[in-house]
Amino acid sequence: MTVGFVMLVHTALDRAEQVARHWSKADCPVVIHVDRKVKKRDHAAFVEALADLSNVRFSRRRSCDWGTWSLVQASQDASEVLLAEFPEVRHVYLSSGSCLPLRPVQELKDYLAERPLTNFIESVTTEDVPWTVGGLDRERFTMRFPFSWRRRRRLFDWYVRFQRRWGLRRRVPEAITPHLGSQWWCLTRQTLTAILEDADRKKYDAYFSKVWIPDESYYQTLVRLYSTNIESRSLTLSKFDFQGKPHIFYDDHMQLLRRSDCFVARKIWPNADKLYSGFLSNDASVFSGAEPNPGKIDRIFSKAVERRTKGRPGLYMQSRFPNASWENGLTSAHYAVFEGFSELFQDFEDWLARLTGTRVHGHLFGPERAEFAGGQSVFAGALPDSAALRDYDPRAFLTNLIWNTRGERQCFQYGPRDTVAISRHLARDANATISVISGAWAVPLFYSNANFSVIRREAALLQKIESAHLDVLRSHQTKARVRIWTLADFVENPMEPLQTVIDELGVRTSHRLTEAPRMVSLDGFGQFLQNLKNQGMQPHLMGDFPAVIGGPAARTKPRKPYLVK
Amino acid sequence: MSVFRSYRLRWERKRWRIRALRKRHDLKPISNKTATIAPRDILVLTTLRNERVRLPYFLRYYRELGVNHFLIVDNGSDDGSREYLAEQEDVSLWITRGSYKRARFGVDWLNWLARRHAHGHWALTVDPDEFLIYPFVDTRSLRALTDWLDASSIRSFGAMLVDMYPKGPIDDQTYVEGQDPFEIANWFDSGNYMISKNEKYGNLWIQGGPRARTFFADKPERAPALNKIPLVKWHRAYTYVSSTHSLLPRGLNLVYDEWGGEKASGVLLHAKFIDTFPEKAREEIERRQHYAASHEYKAYAAKLSDNPELWCKWSEKYINWRQLEILGLMSKGNWA
């Protein structure tokens, strides 16, 4: 008893010859179907090349197209030849010209001999398959498909829509329940002859010849009628990408294929010399009896599909440039934005860096330059600090920075003096944590030496910008985590908000803050705000600052660094 | 896209094709071996001027990748490039004295050669200082890539330009004929690229890298374009629009995914910045044959005279394609 192979061949005839020879030498009969589209001369040479082998036959040639009935016909013809001419065959293995045996043929024979009545064919009901092309599963069996999906896609789609619209349906023959699965199977003589010699075969053939992609459903459905001994998996390792095309194996998959313990793999790139010479050499190995284990290959290919469909979040590059709201993450990692903190505290950046171990930049979007941590003029990924380059595409600057520093948390300062254009993007980004002390921009003005009229104008401008920015942050489209304190509230009790901010950064620190950054002195700041008011400008973002000179809030001593036990 | 716009682009494409047809008179065949091109051959198309010292490695590199035939336009070399190329078995050579600028920086010539000889072939259009890197380049030949593209019904393959530069002054190490230029220029910028979409042709416009960083930090809009689509399954109706940055019909420019996924892409390593560069820059400024009055070369000359170093502390040292893929400069897409 042995296994016989049916091979469907349409290209790379030299490789098909090699594989057929390999099987034939191992005493496995082979029946080959060569596509009618192969040139006469090539076909003749192919037949000639295999002429020395007594157990190789050729079946009637048909012209085959992907996903059409002709493929089933080809396999029927070839199977009939195989079953009729080689009575010693117990299992029939359907393979293609781009299949490659990965384990010695003897191992396959032994494996099948141990399971003499088992049919290896993937066969699942339409409800359970996630991989159907074109979104058609159940409808494959109930619609008509007279137009080629490959060449007449529009007509195909139109006709499908038309049938859906008018509810046109075909009747499924009563006895059968549609099943789908990989078209590469291995059936027993018993089951296969039952399918091919069934009195109703004409009826089934007529039905399936108009089903879409019948080679994935004909045997898969009918096998359920004649056998209960079905292993619903294919012995052929064959992986499909998201468009339903088979993944191709190359020389560099050698180790993976070896370790997969699968019997046959497809599809092999015809020029993969190492694979062919490696797997077709007859180095005898002991039958390990190992079950096929394609897990690792599965992972690699499913990762590839995921990369193609989802991509790497936060990466913008030459072959991934998502439309708005299709980014799947505007940036690649969490980061924190601080507004007003470095204005209020003298050493905020150092303090934060020391406490949390994150990378703390100055005003990255500052008007003069991008203030990278440590005063560097170039930063990760060779990002330059030029304000002109940065403002040419501020979003790219931000996404680049976050992408380039994957694995290290970034923090930076922002304020109304900085590039305004980025504010919208920060707010939309779910990776951003934005902490704002509103109105803190007035503190540097308070300390500035400019003429008061200049200060007043500047204050009005900054307030307008920050007010618009806060509106953005408070809008319902904002995805960032936002916390806003007014300057007055913050100064009242700075430790609590600082603790919150540190906690939200999510880096492990000692449980309670023991050291606060040094706050600048705000003596007379209330009066400063009052002066602004007196000049006709209303500073409202700071909250309620007591304004009276010598009033209860005025301090007499310089504030001490905050210390908490 | 509106019918009107697509109709206008159709006419634009026809105009470029007619222009290429006209410019064919510029070209004089020196050694035409195109009869030896087999149906499935992969072709390289190049225009060059005075690149003798680079040629041996250039030809070797692409031969090893599996390129079968080179179609080269020599625009008035006087350094022996022409004689050298005429001797090669797999090179078809045309010479021209015509204006590089008026042939739209060589595009018209190559459009013509592609139309005449590359129909139905995979055609790779590169300069002699551009070296294609694609996923699995170390284990799979270019044929594996084009077969996969064919099987996936993909007609064009994007590969952005990545400027490579040495550590230290550009002219510190002398490039020797036949040498791998990336033994000298093996550093690059990994993450300072800016992308926007060209609505008219649908291609991406990429700027950045060391040139934007050092030469165009004040006028970023003039920084050179780095997006390229060098590998195309050519059809005689296709045409490059400006350099290899964009093509018509416009569908060929969609080498990127817009719905969050990554398509497969490669990189053109650019070996421009080696010791031959300062000389080249001087020459090109005199010839005034480059894009926008050679402003690019003027910017280089101005900068290079005071500090000819592109390297910085955050430069990345080139290792292999996997590094480029991890850094996000290229992608395997769904090729595995």
Q: What is the mean pLDDT of residues B235-244?
A: 92
Q: What is the mean pLDDT of residues B30-41?
A: 92
- pLDDT band at residue A552 using 50, 70 and 90 as cut-offs: very low
Question: CB distance A320–B263 less than 8 Å?
Answer: yes
Look at chain A and count its residues. Answer: 565
Distance between CA B229 and CA A187 in Å, rounded?
Answer: 48
* Cβ(B252)–Cβ(B316) below 8 Å: no
Backbone region of residue A544 per phi and psi (left: phi > 0; alpha: psi in -120 to 50; beta: other values): beta
Residues from chain B contacting residue A271 (CB–CB below 8 Å): 141, 143-144, 147
Which domains are seen in chain A, by residue range? 2-138+176-309 (3.90.550), 335-534 (3.40.50)
Residue B165: per-residue pLDDT: 93
Q: What is the pLDDT of residues A129-188, one digit of tens each?
A: 666 555 667 778 888 888 877 788 889 889 888 988 888 888 888 888 888 888 899 999
Question: Is the complex ipTM higher than 0.95?
Answer: no
Residue A556: per-residue pLDDT: 46
Among A159, A137, A139, A161, smallest CA distance to A148 is for A159
Residue B42: per-residue pLDDT: 96
Owner of token pair 């499908």 = A160
Residue A138: per-residue pLDDT: 75
**In sequence order, what DSSP letters do the residues of B202-264 get, joined into one string?**
--EEEEEHHHHHHTSSS-GGGSPP-----EEE--TT-EEEETTTEEESGGGG--SBSSS----
Residue B280: per-residue pLDDT: 81
Residue A324, chain B, CB below 8 Å: the answer is no
Question: CB distance B334–A305 less than 8 Å?
Answer: yes
Q: Which residue of A has its CA nearest to B157?
A: A319
Report helix, strand or coil for B132.
strand
Residue B328: per-residue pLDDT: 94
Residues from chain A contacting residue B147 (CB–CB below 8 Å): 248, 269, 271
Question: CB distance A388–B264 less than 8 Å?
Answer: no
Distance between CA A360 and CA A385 in Å, rounded?
Answer: 15
Query: Cα distance from B31 to chain A (closest Cα, Å)?
Result: 31
* Cβ(A241)–Cβ(A212) below 8 Å: no
Reply yes or no on whether the pLDDT at B57 is more than 70. Answer: yes
Share of residues in chain A with pLDDT > 70 (%): 92
Distance between CA A519 and CA A341 in Å, rounded?
Answer: 9
Residue A510: per-residue pLDDT: 59
Residue A550: per-residue pLDDT: 45
Among A269, A165, A154, A189, smallest CA distance to A6 is for A189
Dihedral over Cα of A193, A194, A200, A204: its sign: negative
Residue A252, chain B, CB below 8 Å: the answer is yes
> Both tokens of residue B246?
């964009």
Residue A12, chain B, CB below 8 Å: the answer is no
* pTM (two decimals): 0.89
- pLDDT band at residue A565 using 50, 70 and 90 as cut-offs: very low
Q: What is the pLDDT of residues A489-542, one digit of tens each?
A: 888 888 888 888 888 887 666 566 777 888 888 888 888 888 888 888 888 888
Reply yes or no on whether the pLDDT at A103 is more than 70. Answer: yes
Size of interface A-B (CB pairs under 8 A): 178
Residues from chain A contacting residue B144 (CB–CB below 8 Å): 250, 269, 271
Q: Residue A492 is which amino acid?
A: E
Report helix, strand or coil for B91.
strand
Residue A551: per-residue pLDDT: 44
Report helix, strand or coil for A249.
strand
Q: What is the mean pLDDT of residues B16-37?
A: 90
Reply yes or no on whether the pLDDT at A108 is more than 60. Answer: yes
Q: What is the mean pLDDT of residues A483-488?
A: 90
Helix H or strand E encompassing A388: helix A387-392
Residues from chain A contacting residue B210 (CB–CB below 8 Å): 382
Residues contacting residue B215 through CB under 8 Å, at least 6 positions apart? B223, B296, B299, B300, B303
Q: What is the pLDDT of residues A44-101, one digit of tens each?
A: 999 999 999 999 999 999 998 888 899 999 999 999 999 999 999 999 999 999 999 9
Residue A282: per-residue pLDDT: 64
Q: What is the mean pLDDT of residues A283-301?
A: 71
Question: CB distance A312–B328 less than 8 Å?
Answer: yes
Reply yes or no on whether the pLDDT at A9 is more than 90. Answer: yes
Residue B316, chain A, CB below 8 Å: the answer is yes
Distance between CA A156 and CA A480 in Å, rounded?
Answer: 45
Dihedral over Cα of A54, A60, A63, A66: its sign: negative
- The 10 Å Cβ neighbour count of residue A234 is 23
Owner of token pair 């699965």 = A181
> Both tokens of residue A265?
């793999």
Query: Cα distance from B185 to chain A (closest Cα, Å)?
Result: 16
Residue A470: per-residue pLDDT: 93
Q: Which residue of B has its CA nearest to A243?
A: B152
Query: Cα distance from B311 to chain A (closest Cα, Å)?
Result: 9
Question: CB distance B313–A389 less than 8 Å?
Answer: no
Query: Cα distance from A410 to chain B (closest Cα, Å)?
Result: 16
Q: Which residue has the higher pLDDT, A463 or A242?
A: A463
Owner of token pair 């029927």 = A76
Reply yes or no on whether the pLDDT at A286 is more than 50. Answer: no
Residues from chain A contacting residue B217 (CB–CB below 8 Å): 384, 386, 388-389
Q: What is the pLDDT of residues B134-189, one digit of tens each?
A: 999 999 999 999 999 999 999 999 999 999 999 988 888 899 999 999 999 999 99
Reply yes or no on whether the pLDDT at A285 is more than 80. Answer: no
Mean pLDDT taken over chain A: 87
Report helix, strand or coil for A414.
strand
Q: What is the pLDDT of residues A213-245, one digit of tens each?
A: 888 889 999 999 988 899 888 888 888 877 778
Query: Cα distance from B159 to chain A (closest Cα, Å)?
Result: 8
Question: CB distance A388–B220 less than 8 Å?
Answer: yes
For A407, B166, B202, B208, the CA distances from B253, given in Å and listed in that order, are 34, 32, 6, 20
**Least CB-CB distance to A382: which of B195, B315, B329?**
B315
Q: What is the mean pLDDT of residues B231-252?
A: 93
DSSP annotation of A214 reads G
> Both tokens of residue B195?
């992308």
